[in-house]
Each structure stands twice: as C-alpha cells, then as structure tokens.
Structure 1
Amino acid sequence: MPATDTIPMPGLAALPRVRVARPRRFLMCEPRHFDVTYSINPWMDPGKPVDTALALAQWTALRDLYRSLGHTVEVVEPLDGLPDMVFAANGATVLDGKVLGARFRHLERTAEGPAYLSWFAEQGFRDLHWPEHINEGEGDLLVVGRRILAGSGFRSDPRSHREAQEFFGVPVIGLTLVNPKFYHLDTALAVLSDDEIMYYPAAFSEGSQAVLREMFPDAIIAEDEDAEVFGLNALSDGRHVLLPEAAVGLQRKLRARGFEPIGVDLTELLYAGGSVKCCTLELRS
C-alpha cells in the first residue's frame, strides 16, 4: 500500500462529532403580564385559564439554566398590555451587531417592535433598521452560520427576506410554511450548529422540503409526536440543546449525534404557542 493511501477505518464516519458549547448572549423578557386574551394562532384559546405565576416560574428556570451553562442573559422590561412580549425571539434579528427590527402582522403585537428596538438603542446598538416589510424577528429569520433561513406563509412577508439580505449582507433562503400550527419558522425548524438543523418536513411546502434536503441532507427529522409538543422550538449552544421535555424522540436523536439535550418545562407558555426558542433572542456581535 502506498504511503499516501488512506487506511480504511470501518465505522469512523458514523461516530458523532465532538460537541463544544460556545458562550452566547441572550435577550429575554419576563412574562410578568403573560396571558391569552386573544387568538392569533391555533394554540391560543382565550377561554382556557392561564397561570401567570407558573409561566413566570418556568421562564425563570429557563433563564437560570442558560446562566448555569455559562451564557449571558439580559432582560428587557415587559410592558403592560403586551402579553406576548415574553417571546423575545420575535422582537428583532441580530447579526454582526446589526439589529433588524420586527414589524408584526397582528395589531395585538405591533407595539412590541418599537419596544424592543428602543431597548437596543438604549443599550448602545448603533446599526438599527426599522423594517419596511413585516418580519417577526427570529421567529422567521434563523441564522445558520453565515446564512439566514427565512420563513413565510403565515406571518412574515416574503419581501422581508430581500430586506434582510440587503441589511445583513448574507444569503437569505426563503422557505414556505403551510401548516398553521407551525406558523413561525422556529416552530418547525431548529438550528443546531453552523451547518446542522433539525426540522419537521410536513410544516413546509414541497419545494421548501426539497431545498432543505439539498442544503441539509443529514438533518435530524422530527416525527409528528415531537413536532406536536413544540420540540423544534429549541436552542443549541453547539453542545447543549434545550427543548421541551416532552420531545423524547428528538432527545434520543440528538444524543446519537453527540449533542446533550436538556428537557425544559414551558408548558404554560405553550398555551400561547411558544417555548424555548420563542423566549430567547440571541445577540450576535
């Protein structure tokens, strides 16, 4: 055998990657005023009672878990009359220190966009953009390495994808959502690393499914039962993946890939159609 030949190593390709957590900086909003008083997605039923104290306790546990894992968590002041402001991921998209504000589709949430953008201005962020077209922040704009996957179909305007690309200067790939239960991209797809995702194919149009298969042939595929408990509304730091504790199938698949899944209980916030990722906006410098 020539010295330059590669010696075959059976099974080596199947070994999971070595996963390394990278400290992140997050923005969150305490659910002090959380309630379900209107319905703008299939999960919301104003007729069902909401336990605000329990929602606050569950949110606090998530915040404390982030900090225990070495992440920085900053908190924006919640405003009375904005019960969905707890879902900080919708408040903006931040990349390279640049902040693309959020413009909401439904009247009930429109005041959240200016509230979040004001926080960024007060904290010294200088490159701020108030959007022309509707985009609901990281709910529909997910950063994967130096690319952005952008959802539309229920909330964000497809024209916001071009606006995001021009502002951030990175490729933006549009994906169409077709199942109203998965109304934001972050309910149907989670970013695991700079080149890995997990997603629920049935939430997407056939063309978007084809795009995802082409871009991420080794993606983790979520089964119905995990998607239905919001298992894809998850957050990864490169090693730990925080996701709803009921998504046991996804947790098993993540472990097989070398990740360390951590189940989180945010069942009270699910009454409004939100979980781990919805509560968490990453501040990328």
Structure 2
Amino acid sequence: MRTHAVPERTATPRRYLMCPPTYFEVTYSINPWMDPTKPVDRELALAQWEDLRDRYLSLGHTVEVLDPVPGLPDMVFAANGATVVDGRVLGARFANPQRRDEATAHLEWFRAQGYRDVHEPEHVNEGEGDFAVTSSWLLAGKGFRSSPFAHAELQEFFGRPVISLELVDPRYYHLDTALAVLDGDEVVYNPSAFSAGSRAVLRRLFPNAVLATDEDATAFGLNAVCDGRHVLLPQGAQALAARLRAHGYEPIGVDTSELIKAGGSVKCCTQELRERGEEIAVAA
C-alpha cells in the first residue's frame, strides 16, 4: 500500500508580544465562556502565563512584554490589541466598552518602541483575534466582534488580499478560536464554526488543511501558535495534537485552564510581531 511521506517541518524564530495577567479577573461576561460567579485564581493564571512565555523562550523565540493596566483584566489577551505585518501596525478598536482602553495601551507601546507606521482604525476590529496572516492572504473573521468594514480597512492598509470568513457559533466568537495558521498557507480549522459559504472558501483555499472537530474547538485547541514546526496549544486538545503530529508538526501541550475561564488560551495571549528590520527604529 502506498503511503504519503510526512513532511519535515522547520521552526523559524518569532517575536511575540505578551502581557502578564497581573489584574486578571472575570467580573463581566462578554463571551459564552466568561462566568463572573466562578472564582479565578490569579496566581495560577500568572504561573500558566509564565510557563507559556518560558516555553517560547526555550524554543528560541523573543518575547516582548506589554505592561498591564489596572482595571483592564483582559489585557493578558495581547493578540487582540493590534495586527502587525511587515513592521506596520494596525491598531484595534474593541467592540465592548470593557476592553476599549486596551487599544490605547497597545498603540502607545508600539509608538514608544519606535514603530513609525502605526494606524488607529476607523472600524471595529479586535486584532489577531479576528485577523490571521498566511503567506498569501489575510484571513478576517466577522459575525460577532470585528466589523466587516474593518476588512476593507485591513486590505487597504496592508496591501494584501483579504478573505472574509463568517463565524456562526457564538462559542467561537473570534477567528482565533476557530482557525489557526500553521505554516505558510497551511491552516487548521473547525468547519462547524463557519457559514456554508465560508466553509466552501476554506476548502478551495486550503484543500490540505488539518480539520478540527467541535471537541477540539471547545478545548480551545484552535487557539494555538505555530512556529513552522512546534504547535503550542492547550493540553486538553489531545485528539487535535495527535492529528497535527500525523501531519509532521510537533504539538506542545500547555496548561491554560485558568485563562480559558475568560475565553482565551495560547493564541489569545500571543501577538506576533511580524516585521522588517529596516521599518522599525529602535527607541533610545
């Protein structure tokens, strides 16, 4: 019987922005996972965050730290604060008032770091929560948080083709709970999180995608980060980890159980700083 060779995967160094959960708590509910009646262990959340950061460092990646702000408990989910491509920064504009001041904190950080091309958006978008970057496209989620008008703004700013994808299940309120970019134009996604038309688009663009199940998604397995070889994902998503391993990736399970109480996991905590060195002036 003929078998298909598993491709050899290569990791490339990445630069990430993270924010410690110093003020993490769940006192309001803006997604189906948040329950203010359930206690949150802030010390455990911080230990889990530190473990994730240390795993990135052990894999040779760089982690920059955004200082948390009192009164903004969701700042730990740094992926939502901006989208960075080629050293250009498209800021966020949050849908819910509880998170709106996070956008300012992110923009101030980028400007202080010497990023010269920083754009404050006109339309609601929640950064890499709803925007994903592949080699060929910018994938943009809509339906619960980010405005469809933000997709045109995304394309105009970055000058890359944008693929709009409709999310239909409120449990997967951000694109990064339903789809993860693995390497180049390779992705893993949960078909049931998308409208029929968006599923057809995904099949056409990514015929060899790794397909996830609802079980994978409810374990936050799609809220993952890949460096081309290693896939960091919640340790509860074991079935998805096995599927990724069969495709040549090296899954690394991480305990994010406390952070999941607010509806976020590995990817939510991790904003990728995609840059061209000449486009960033290092701050003195």
Contact 2:136/2:185 (CA < 8 Å) preserved in 1?
A: no
The match for 1:284 is 274
- Which of 212, 216, 228 in structure 1 is aligned with 2:218? 228
The match for 1:268 is 258
| Distance in 1 between residues matched to 2:140 and 2:112, nearest whole Å | 28
Q: 1:146: Cα distance to partner?
A: 3.3
Amino acid at match of 2:60: G
RMSD over aligned CA atoms reads 0.8
| Distance in 2 between residues matched to 1:104 and 1:11, nearest whole Å | 51
- What SS does the corresponding residue of 1:242 show, helix, strand or coil? strand
- What SS does the corresponding residue of 2:170 show, helix, strand or coil? coil
- What SS does the corresponding residue of 1:104 show, helix, strand or coil? coil
Q: 1:11: Cα distance to partner?
A: 3.6
- Normalised by the size of structure 2, how large is the TM-score? 0.96
Q: 1:263: Cα distance to partner?
A: 0.3
The match for 1:184 is 174
How do 1:118-133 and structure 2 match up within 5 A?
Answer: 118-133=108-123
- What SS does the corresponding residue of 1:149 show, helix, strand or coil? strand
Q: Which runs of 4+ in 1 moved over 4 A?
A: none
| Distance in 1 between residues matched to 2:114 and 2:137, nearest whole Å | 25
Matched, 1:116 2:127: no
**What does the per-residue CA deviation read over 1:223-257, in whole Å, with 9 as the maximum and x for residues that have no partner?**
22111110000000000000011111111111111
The match for 2:9 is 19
| Distance in 2 between residues matched to 1:17 and 1:195, nearest whole Å | 14
Contact 2:91/2:127 (CA < 8 Å) preserved in 1?
A: yes
- What SS does the corresponding residue of 1:105 show, helix, strand or coil? coil
Amino acid at match of 1:102: A
The match for 1:6 is none
Percent of aligned pairs with the same amino acid: 65
The match for 1:37 is 27
**What does the per-residue CA deviation read over 1:140-184, in whole Å, with 9 as the maximum and x for residues that have no partner?**
000011310000000000010000000000001000000000000
How do 1:169-208 and structure 2 match up within 5 A?
Answer: 169-208=159-198
- Which of 81, 94, 105 in structure 2 is aligned with 1:91? 81
How many aligned residue pairs are there? 275
Amino acid at match of 2:19: C
**What does the per-residue CA deviation read over 1:43-89, in whole Å, with 9 as the maximum and x for residues that have no partner?**
00001000000000000000000000000000000000000000000
- What SS does the corresponding residue of 1:81 show, helix, strand or coil? coil
Q: 1:17: Cα distance to partner?
A: 1.1
Contact 2:82/2:128 (CA < 8 Å) preserved in 1?
A: yes
- Normalised by the size of structure 1, how large is the TM-score? 0.95
Amino acid at match of 1:87: F
